[in-house]
Amino acid sequence: HVRSKDSNVQATFAPELRHPTFFSFDPRYAVYSGWFVPATQITFGDHDAASSRSKSSTASLHIQMLLKRKWSIYIYRSFLVIAVIDLLGLCGFMIFDATDRLNTLLALLLTIVVAMQESLTQSYMTFLGRYSLFGFLFLVLLTVQATFYDHYDAE
């Protein structure tokens, strides 16, 4: 739409169905592939000189983009991997030799630390970071339980 020349001149260009590539966003040039842009809107216009302190008219360009996160990446790459590692920790109780059981649990502890590397680089705690931390603490408790269980079982 275009406004009259008496007030602020504004033109809005929105993608139409017959032009699907109007101002398209190419995901190959995205810095982070965890996001995609389903919609964009570009607005050209100018600001009224009377409302400005400098009494000058300036042109403006407003770009609005709707961003959505690709959540399935995190489900498969992080949640599923940490859940499998924690379940393998429970399978450690099927190993009857105490040394082999502790070796397995310590190897799983190191594995979950490697899986947590993505969430450890952030300076704030996210849901994924809390989930990873609780998975790590779960394996620590399994290791402590296996250690003391063997100690008391021997007496």
pLDDT per residue as tens digits for the range 57-86: 777 777 787 878 877 877 788 889 999 999
Residue 9 has pLDDT above 80, yes or no: no
Q: Read off the amino acid at residue 3.
A: R
Instruction: Mention every residue, 6+ apart, whose C-beta is less than 8 A from residue 82.
Output: 112, 115, 116, 131, 132, 135
Distance CA 8, CA 137 (A): 60
Helix (H) or strand (E) holding 41: strand 35-47
Phi and psi of 108, rounded to 5°?
Answer: -70, -35
Distance CA 147, CA 130 (A): 26
Distance CA 107, CA 139 (A): 10
Q: Please give the pLDDT value at position 87.
A: 93
CB 66 within 8 A of CB 37: yes
Indicate the DSSP class of residue 49.
G
Q: Which of 25-29, 69-73, 141-145 is predicted with the least confidence, judged by mean pLDDT?
A: 25-29
> pTM for this structure?
0.58
